[in-house]
Structures are given as structure tokens and as C-alpha cells.
Structure 1
Amino acid sequence: MIRPVGFRMNEETAVNNYFQEDLNIKNAEINAKAQEEFDAFVEKLRNVGVNVIVENDDLKMDTPDSIFPNNWVSFHENGDVVVYPMFAVNRRRERREEVFMRLEEEGFEIKNIIDYTAAEEEDLFLEGTGSILMDRVHDKVYCALSARADEELIIEFCEDFDSMPVIFTANQTVDGKRKPIYHTNVMMCLAEAFCVICLDTIDDKQEKKNVVHHLKESGKEIITISEAQMHQFAGNMLQVQGTDKKYLVMSAAAHNSLDAGQIAAIEKHCAILSSDLTTIETCGGGSARCMMAEVFLPKK
């Protein structure tokens, strides 16, 4: 997780991230509030035994979205690290070798770096585990196409990682028009035994049927959320391992949006851990899942 030092509403990402809003307060105040939310969130995770490695952002880099590291990097069980092409030019500065050095200091082994960033020269993008949801057990990759998720790159990634692509389009209503959702992980969360998903965003019936088929084929219980709940970031969740049990991590807004039936369905599989991320969600247009780049690297 990357602790922010210059967090604010990013004007470069706002063009197609319809979850962002302008709080109309000074950037220094926004960053201070984001830091408070970040620190409280990290403390909650650590209190239940989740191993959290916090790296500080560098103020000189001017990276307002660095708090969302899962968009530029992913870490894999075989020692691979993948670096991704980013839509916003100012987000490309988030890619820092210091993060890899820190992981090696923490005892993780990096064997190979796979770099897709040359695609930026062709204006093609694939923003990490924001764009692609990996079912690492069943070798499937779910991805909603958007300006930040190019189909050719998804297929290339799946070929490189010997995975089955499950590609679709997910839309939200903006000013009365259906427009692509910027990242898959705001409408869908893939956990070990279940999936929280806003199926209403997949307008094409055949695509929706295909997504449901693959989830069921992999034995996932499907827990559906509404578009209104999705806008409270109820799709932006991540399952993590604590000391003695698993947790589904989400924001307070996401947690509060869920009804009793949805909570019961989740709690059949794992506990819920939530934290207030109001400032981060409002200005950044991302939530709990986006803030965590999960590390599957082998230990040395």
C-alpha cells in the first residue's frame, strides 16, 4: 500500500472515471484527510493480522493517484512482476523501482519483470488488477473493456499467463447515456468461493450469460449488487488472509450499502472488514480494493 503525500482529484483521470467528484476544498486539506483515512485503514488491517507493507509516496513525483498501486503492478506466485500501461500520463510516474527493492528487503523473491508499458506509445492501456480480475486457481481473467482495458492487451496477458480471457463490456448511466465503467474492479469482486458482481452493468445478454457461466463453472457463489450499490463502491472489495480467518475488505460506504441478505451471503464465507474512505473515494474515484496491491511472490 502506498501512503499518499499529494493526493487530490486527478484531472487527467476524471475524463472517464465518472466516480470522481470535486470536494471543492484545498488540496492540502484533501491530502490530510486521505492520510487519516489511509492510516486508520492500515491499522484495521494489521489489527486482524493482515501483513501490510506501507511505502511512502514521493512528493516530488506529483502523483495524485499513487494511493491506488494495483493499477500499475501485479505480483505473481512464480516470482513474476507485471508492470502495466496507464491511461493518465501523470499516473505513469507511480511506477517506482523502490517498491520492488522494498519487497526484496521484506524477503520476497522477484524472478522476472514483464513490462507491457510500451503499449502506451500506441495509446493502448491495461491498468493492472483494476482492469483484470484474476481467478488464479482456475486460470481465468475477467475484464470489462474500456479506454483503460484494451482487448488485444488482455489477450496478450492471458497468453503470457496461460489463462482463459472472459471479456465483456460493463456500462453505467452518465447524463442519461450508457458509458463504459473505467475499471472492472468497481463492478466486480472475485473472492475464493464467491463473486460480488453488478450484473446489471453488463447490457449484452450473451456477455452476461458468459460471465455467469464461467463463475458457476469455477464454483463461485454469485452475490449480485445493484448499480446504486456499485456507486457506493460495493463492487470494490478484496478478500485477504488475517491471522486466523479470511476477511472481505471494503469501505464503510460499501458496507453500509449492503442489505442483510448480501451481508449474510458474504459472511457464510468470510468476515467483513470495513473502514471509512470517504475522501479517497470522492476525490480519487477508487476505494478499498484499489488501495491494495496483493503480493503473491514467493519468499526467498
Structure 2
Amino acid sequence: MAFLASCDTQYPLTHPHAASAVVMVPPVHFKFNAQTSEDNGFQHALALPDEEVKTRAMAEFNNMVMTLRRHGIDVVVMEYPDSDPATPDAVFPNNWFSTLPSGELYLYPMACPNRQLEVKPERLMAALDKAGYAVNHVHKVKCHDKDEAFLESTGAMVIDHLNQRVYAALSHRCDSILLTEWAAKVGMRQVVSFNTEMSDGNPVYHTNVMMAVGEAFAVVCDEVIEPAQRDLVCNTLSEDKTLVSISEAQMNRLCGNILQLRNRHGESLIVMSLSAYSAFTEDQKRTLRQFGKLVPIDVNTIETVGGGSVRCMMGEIFLPRHQTV
């Protein structure tokens, strides 16, 4: 854990923790991604034709968009023409950008070549502008000390906006130097980085599949955190949040890949997959309901083949609205 004594900027003290709007990208080229499967053990190929997999994924995507909108969340769909180069994982946009209430848009380096093709800032800004959101500055995150260093946005980092704190499971997709540089640049107060090991001996590929941080709750698969670092992570989370500990089996059902949102009426929602909802115990669901309405959504094809779930499918929008004259 590191406290950052000096920062390039001041992280917005009024930054809301839960977004009311998200960017989503349709799974136009969706299929099993062999490149990402090298370190993502959550991916599993289905014995179905690629076209059938894509059709099912598109139906799940459309249902999720409708469900979020029905619950009062503004969903900005960034269209993805079928003529673009193949990007099997484009349905997970949270890995390549993030936003701040000051109008900052950050773009992040992706580890896999076919995921690097997803980074379309002009198309993203056009979709945001059309929806009424203002981007004032664009920042490209890169490491000056290494030729190849990756930091896959809110996949690699789980951010506690209220405490200006970032949690990160170090991996090939989460470089420690780049993490610290980013945190200092945006004005984070504290970095809590740690190592993980799953039962197969591999590290967790993304932090956001093993943990989630809400306004007053946190979900974490603490059993995969290196024992010497486990108490530090859990004690830090518990400072001002109710902690829900999940098992590795629950993590594999994507119980960690959930996201708290606040709709246009200010109501708290906790969005999760149907698989995650079914895997949480009744006591755990009772605890989570204290902090928001549980919104389970069936994305079985996407999370099975893609290895990511509903949180990965939503890029949070914290940008200001355009000023009207």
C-alpha cells in the first residue's frame, strides 16, 4: 500500500462514487478470443457455431441495455460497424477508457493486440457528444520507463472515489509503475496494490472480477489475495464499508464483477449477472440489499465465452453535461 504525497492534480472531492450513465458497445464481432484466453481462465469456448454465439451475445446485450434504461440509467451505445477490424471483446469497453467529472477522458494501454484495436476515442467522443456529455481533455496513459506496460482501466483498477483510493491486483494487465503514475496524475490519495493466486496457480487477470467497491459496501474474494497482504486489503476496505467476502467458487461465477449505479431518481442499483445473483448466498444478498436494489441480468453467453460479466460491459460516464446557452 502506498500513500501518494504529491499529485499532479487534485482528484475531484465532489466525485460521485456511483455513475448514473454508462457506455456500452454491442458485441458485433463477439466470439472466443484466443489472445486473451492465455491469461483469462474465466473464458470457455462453447460447442456452437461462431454465428450462433454472436447472435446469443447480441440478444443478451440488447436485453441488458433495455433493463438498465428501464431502471433509469442513461445508456450511451457506441456503435461498432461490422466492417471494422475484428474485435471479439469490444463488448467490454471499461478496459480502455475512464472519465472524470472535470471532463477528463483517459485512454489506457491494452495488453492484447486485438483488444488494442478497440480503442476508438473519436467514435467514443462522438457518441458522448451526441448524448450531451462534454469531454474537455483527452489523456493517453503510457509508461515512460518500459517499452510495454499495460493498465487496463477499471478492469485492472477498482476505484473508491469517495476515499480517493484505488485497489489493484497486479498482473500482466496491471503494471505497478504505470498504476502509481496514473494515480499520482489524477490525484488519488492512496494505492492499495497486491498479488493474487488462484487455485490453478495463476494470478487473477483483472481486479474487477475478484472485487467490487460500492459507496458503503465492498465485495472481495480475499482467499486469492497473497496471505501476507490479505489483512491489509480487507482492513482497508472495512474502514468505512460493510465487507462481503466471497469464495473462489463464487468469484468464478462472477460475483465480484458487479457495479453500483444511481439512476436518474437517485436510487441505488447493484447490477450483477444472473449467474452471480444465483451464486451469492441469501445472507450475502440480504446484506447487499441494504445498499441498493439488486438488478440481475442474464449474460450467460457473454460471460462464459468472454470471461467478463456485466461490470466489464459498462464504461462509467462521470463527465459534465454540455452547457446550454
TM-score over 0.5 for the pair: yes
Alignment counterpart, residue 133 of structure 2, candidates 108, 112, 122: 108
Contact 1:119 1:125 survives alignment (8 Å): no
Deviation, 1:169, is: 1.1
Contact 1:199 1:225 survives alignment (8 Å): yes
SS of residue matched to 2:74 = coil
Alignment counterpart, residue 274 of structure 1, candidates 280, 296, 301: 296
Provide the C-alpha distance between the structure 1 equivalents of 2:180 and 2:233, rounded to a whole number of angstroms. 16
Deviation, 1:120, is: 11
Letter in 2 for 1:68: F
SS of residue matched to 2:117 = helix
Deviation, 1:216, is: 2.4
Deviation, 1:148, is: 0.3
Deviation, 1:117, is: 4.5
Provide the C-alpha distance between the structure 2 equivalents of 1:13 and 1:24, rounded to a whole number of angstroms. 19
Contact 2:169 2:206 survives alignment (8 Å): yes
Asked if 1:4 corresponds to 2:27, the answer is yes
Letter in 2 for 1:283: V
2:153 aligns with: 128
Alignment counterpart, residue 113 of structure 2, candidates 84, 89, 101: 89
| Count of aligned pairs between the two proteins | 295
Letter in 2 for 1:169: N
SS of residue matched to 2:126 = helix
2:307 aligns with: 285
Gaps of 5+ in 1: none
1:172 aligns with: 198
Which runs of at least 4 in structure 1 moved beyond 4 Å after TM superposition?
Answer: 117-121
Letter in 2 for 1:78: S
1:88-107 Cα deviation digits (max 9, x unpaired): 00101111111111102211
Provide the C-alpha distance between the structure 2 equivalents of 1:257 and 1:280, rounded to a whole number of angstroms. 17
| More off after superposition, 26-35 vs 121-130 | 121-130
1:200-236 Cα deviation digits (max 9, x unpaired): 111223x11221222123x111111111000000000
Contact 2:42 2:308 survives alignment (8 Å): yes
Contact 1:86 1:120 survives alignment (8 Å): no
Alignment counterpart, residue 18 of structure 1, candidates 33, 41, 52: 41
Provide the C-alpha distance between the structure 1 equivalents of 2:162 and 2:62, rounded to a whole number of angstroms. 32
Give the TM-score taking structure 1 as reference length.
0.95
Pair 119,64 (structure 1): closer, same or farther in 2 beyond 3 Å: farther
Contact 1:86 1:117 survives alignment (8 Å): no
2:259 aligns with: 238
Letter in 2 for 1:234: C
Alignment counterpart, residue 98 of structure 1, candidates 118, 123, 142: 123
Give the TM-score taking structure 2 as reference length.
0.88
Q: Indicate the structure whose relative CO is greater, using CA pairs within 8 Å and at least 6 residues apart.
A: 2
Percent sequence identity over aligned pairs: 36
Letter in 2 for 1:99: L
Contact 1:85 1:118 survives alignment (8 Å): no
Provide the C-alpha distance between the structure 1 equivalents of 2:166 and 2:311, rounded to a whole number of angstroms. 17
Deviation, 1:242, is: 2.1
Contact 1:277 1:287 survives alignment (8 Å): yes
Provide the C-alpha distance between the structure 1 equivalents of 2:208 and 2:144, rounded to a whole number of angstroms. 22
